[in-house]
Structure formats: structure tokens, C-alpha cells
């Protein structure tokens, strides 16, 4: 399941700050560092399924520096059965983009990383959260792939784009790729990457038939990456 996301505003009254601690529904969010603030400005996104929710909070810590350069702290945490806990291992520079549930596992996926000021790049990360709350950064298992970007789920498997991304600290950047190793993969139940097709630049999407397609940047052709069939588009 792809968990639908929604936004939470400070005005909703769910969040408050006391003694530099962030509270949700009056309860302190444990394991988070104390927050030194000169104003109360917070943006939050929520992903929900059944009785489990994932929240990403961005707290702006001063009003003395104008946006988009305002310093902030960012956290991702899980809310379940009135228990609020930080997601261990999540890099707070990663911007949570989507959450998938496959079996008893949750996959938290980021398609951007904050670098500095208002600048991000496209370095992507997948974190697996198992039923026993153990976290695994899928990227860390593969030294050839600094970036793993979630595309979607097919047949209970996460479909991803995995790339070298040799320049992770460069702003506004899609990352360098390796023609030999990079490509499109599905992640099996043992967190192994299984290649579907080598990397090609283009717009990739999963279709209702379960096949992975790539629309060329020139929009001249589509490739069915699942079968390798190349489909020329008529003018």
C-alpha cells in the first residue's frame, strides 16, 4: 500500500512547545533534541495507514533570517497506539516523500536531500522499518549506489531506481550515473536488488498492468523496461 500523505499546520493545535521540547497532543516526542526557538513556526506532513502514522516535522528556529534561508530542524517519527517515537537511522536532511507498506514492513522513501540554505539535490534514500521496529537503510547495503529512489510497488515488491550519485554534496543536482551498474530494480523480501533494466535517462512510471515504462526525454519513444520492447510514438 502507498500511504497517502497530508499536511498538518501549527494552527491545528496538535503541536506545542514547552521548555524547548516539541509536544504532540500534549505528549513530548521522545528522543528528539531540545529545540532552541525564537518563534513558533512549524510545517508537518503526515502519512497514515490503519492505526500507524508517520509524521515529518520541520521547525523553523528563528525569525531573524528570511525564507528560504531560515534555519530549521527536521524530524521523522512514528505514531502508533498513543506511542510517539523517533524513526532511528533516518537522516534528518532527507525529505520524506512517500511511505509504502509491504507485508509487515514499512518503507520510508526520500527523493531529495537538503544541502544548505534553500538548496536540495536528488539524492534518494529508502529506509525499511520492520514489524519489530528494526530499521535498515537499504542504500547502506550497496556501495555502488549512493542513491536509491522509490518508483512504486508491484507484486508486493518495491521498484526503485539505483544510481552511483558520485557527487552527493553538489546542490541542485541529479547525480552522476554509472552506465555499467546503475538501473531499475525491484527489492525482494531479503532486501536484494534484482535488475529490471539498465539505466536510461527519462521519465519512469509503473503502469496498471504492472510493467515499468520509460518515456524518453525527447518524447519520441517509450520503452517497456519489463519486456525490453521499444514503442515509437506517432506524431
Long-range contacts of 69-75 (CB under 8 A, 24+ apart): 69/117, 69/118, 70/41, 73/33, 73/35, 74/114, 75/22, 75/29, 75/32
Per-residue pLDDT, averaged over 159-186, amounts to 93
Q: What is the model's pLDDT at position 112?
A: 93
Q: Is the pLDDT of residue 144 over 90?
A: yes
- DSSP structure class, residue 158: E
pTM value is: 0.86
The mean per-residue pLDDT over the stretch 125-150 comes to: 96
* Region 120-144 average pLDDT: 95
Dihedral sign computed on CA atoms, order 103, 77, 3, 187: negative
- What would the mean pLDDT of 135-152 be, rounded to a whole number? 96
Nearest partner of 53 among 103, 89, 5, 105, judged by Cα:
5
**pLDDT score at 58:** 81
Q: What pLDDT score was predicted for residue 174? A: 85
Q: Looking at residue 70, what is its pLDDT?
A: 78
pLDDT at 173 over 90: no
Residue 59 confidence (pLDDT)? 77
Which residue in 194, 4, 201, 158 sits closest to 149, CA to CA? 158
Amino acid at each position: 500500500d502507498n500511504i497517502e500523505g497530508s499536511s498538518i499546520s501549527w494552527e491545528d493545535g496538535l503541536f506545542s512547545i514547552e521548555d524547548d521540547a516539541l509536544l504532540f497532543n500534549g505528549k513530548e516526542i521522545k528522543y528528539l533534541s531540545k529545540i532552541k526557538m525564537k518563534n513558533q513556526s512549524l510545517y508537518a506532513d503526515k502519512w497514515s495507514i490503519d492505526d500507524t502514522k508517520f509524521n515529518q516535522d520541520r521547525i523553523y528556529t528563528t525569525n531573524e533570517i528570511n525564507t528560504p534561508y531560515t534555519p530549521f530542524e527536521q524530524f521523522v517519527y512514528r505514531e502508533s497506539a498513543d506511542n510517539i517515537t523517533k524513526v532511528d537511522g533516518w537522516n534528518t536532511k532527507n525529505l520524506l516523500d512517500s511511505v509504502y507498506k509491504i507485508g509487515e514492513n514499512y518503507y520510508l522513501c526520500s527523493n531529495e536531500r537538503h544541502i544548505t540554505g534553500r538548496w536540495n539535490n536528488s539524492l534518494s534514500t529508502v529506509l525499511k522499518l520492520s514489524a519489530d521496529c528494526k530499521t535498515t537503510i537499504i542504500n547502506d547495503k550497496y556501495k555502488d549506489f549512493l542513491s536509491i529512489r522509490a518508483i512504486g510497488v508491484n507484486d508486493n515488491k518495491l521498484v526503485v531506481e539505483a544510481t552511483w550519485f558520485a557527487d552527493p554534496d553538489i546542490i541542485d543536482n541529479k547525480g552522476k550515473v554509472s552506465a555499467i551498474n546503475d538501473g531499475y530494480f525491484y527489492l525482494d523480501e531479503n532486501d536484494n536488488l534484482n535488475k529490471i533494466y539498465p539505466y536510461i535517462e527519462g521519465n519512469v512510471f509503473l503502469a496498471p498492468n504492472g510493467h515499468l515504462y520509460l518515456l524518453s526525454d525527447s518524447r519520441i519513444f517509450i520503452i517497456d523496461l519489463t519486456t525490453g520492447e521499444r514503442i515509437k510514438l506517432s506524431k
